[in-house]
Amino acid sequence: MDEDYIIKKWLANELTDAELKVFKESKGYDLNTKIIDTAKQFKASQFSTVKNYDEFKADLKDKNTPVIKLKPYKVLYRIAALFIIGFSTYFLFFYNNLTTVETLASQKTTFELPDASSVVLNADSKAQFNKKKWIDKREVSLEGEAFFKVAKGSKFDVITSGGTISVLGTQFSVKNRSGFFEVKCFEGIVSVSSNGKLQRLTKGKTYRILNNLVAIDSTYSSNPEWIDNKSSFKSVPLYEVLDELERQYNVTINTQKVDDKRLFTGGFIHDDLEQALIAITVPFDLTYKKENSNKITISSGE
């Protein structure tokens, strides 16, 4: 059914029972109902009153002016209909131009941006960009972790909840997980804006915010190790390591009497779960048990 046609019939109270049932099950029904409820609360402007009603009535009769009775709710319905249709058109136009790339647990993908810049998206991550506006605004929204090789040109921004990364042309990685924000520069210069502060990173430098603590460190890799199917960590709480293990292997990990705030330095590979578990548990004298194919319990060795 044509959505605009159905909305107009609904506002005029002309829908059949069958059409009304279908409309109530549509995604737009709740939004349209809220708009109508809000519209009903609108109040007309206050006009001045006539001092002498009898004089006003006589004068009106002499002029023989036709009286038009307005139906305020019908007017409001029409206004609401125009608003709904206009908003829907804008929403569809804007979001139809957004390109979204997502990965699931244990999945990575590589894609190219309109200017030939390339992005490698790590497991359980999401990136969005606008093709139509790319020439004027090179901007990517990121949730999760990604490695960028940016073609030279105008300013290139990566927008995350942890901060904004800006470059002209370089190679860098961004990790934006819950409570963990990290940027590594592998080539050129990277500008990081976070919490009202600006930090410039040169090649080999790392910027990290973990539990609201800022740290500047160095990296000697030419690219993120997770691209080569290995996760590495330096002084990172164990719970962050276990979270990454869950993402890379699509498993669920439970801990028993484990201090998961202890700092871990090391890494694990992405193509052998057994070896990955050994690499994480042995340094802390922990044991692990596979409950089934995707559920693992890690316990203290004490």
Task: Enumerate the domain spans of the chain.
Answer: 3-96, 99-225, 230-300
CB 209 within 8 Å of CB 227: no
Say how many residues make up the chain.
302
Q: What is the pLDDT of residue 43?
A: 46
Backbone angles phi, psi at 266, to 5 degrees: 155, -150
Q: Which CATH number fits domain 230-300: 3.40.50.300, 3.55.50.30, 3.40.50.620, 3.20.20.10?
A: 3.55.50.30
What is the four-CA torsion angle of 243, 120, 171, 191, rounded to 10 degrees?
-60
Cα Rg of the chain (Å, integer): 30
Indicate the CATH number for domain 99-225: 2.60.120.1440
Which pTM does this prediction carry?
A: 0.68
Q: Which residue, 98, 154, 96, 156, is CA-closest to 131?
A: 98
**Residue 74 in tokens:** 């019908």
Q: What is the pLDDT of residue 154?
A: 94
CB 191 within 8 Å of CB 156: no
> Is residue 114 classed as helix, strand or coil in its secondary structure?
coil
**Residue 265 in tokens:** 């330095």
Asked whether the domain spanning 230-300 has the same topology as the one spanning 99-225, the reply is: no
Q: ∠ CA 212-216-222 to the nearest 5 degrees?
A: 125
Residues 6+ apart with CB under 8 A from 112: 118, 119
| 195 DSSP assignment | T
Total H helices, total E strands in the chain: 7, 18
Name beta bridge partners: 149.
118, 171
Neighbours of 145 (CB within 10 A): 24
Pairing of strands 126-130, 98-102: antiparallel
**What's the rounded Cα separation, in Å, for the pair 60 and 36?**
35
**Tens digit of pLDDT per residue, the chain (302 long)?**
556 666 766 667 777 777 777 667 766 666 666 666 655 554 444 444 444 545 545 554 555 545 445 455 555 555 555 555 555 444 444 455 899 999 999 999 999 999 999 999 999 999 999 999 999 999 999 999 999 999 999 999 999 999 999 999 999 999 999 989 999 999 999 999 998 999 999 999 999 999 889 999 999 999 999 999 999 999 999 999 999 999 999 999 999 999 999 999 999 999 999 999 999 999 999 999 998 889 999 999 66
DSSP per-residue codes, 139-156: EEEEEEEEEEEPPSSS-E
**What's the rounded Cα separation, in Å, for the pair 160 and 144?**
9
> Is residue 85 classed as helix, strand or coil in its secondary structure?
helix
Q: ∠ CA 216-217-222 to the nearest 5 degrees?
A: 130
Biggest distance spanned by C-alpha atoms of the chain = 103
**What's the rounded Cα separation, in Å, for the pair 35 and 38?**
5
Backbone angles phi, psi at 25, to 5 degrees: -90, -5
pLDDT (tens digit per residue) in 18-39: 777 766 776 666 666 666 665 5
**What's the rounded Cα separation, in Å, for the pair 173 and 148?**
6
Q: What is the pLDDT of residue 15?
A: 72
**What's the rounded Cα separation, in Å, for the pair 151 and 33?**
47
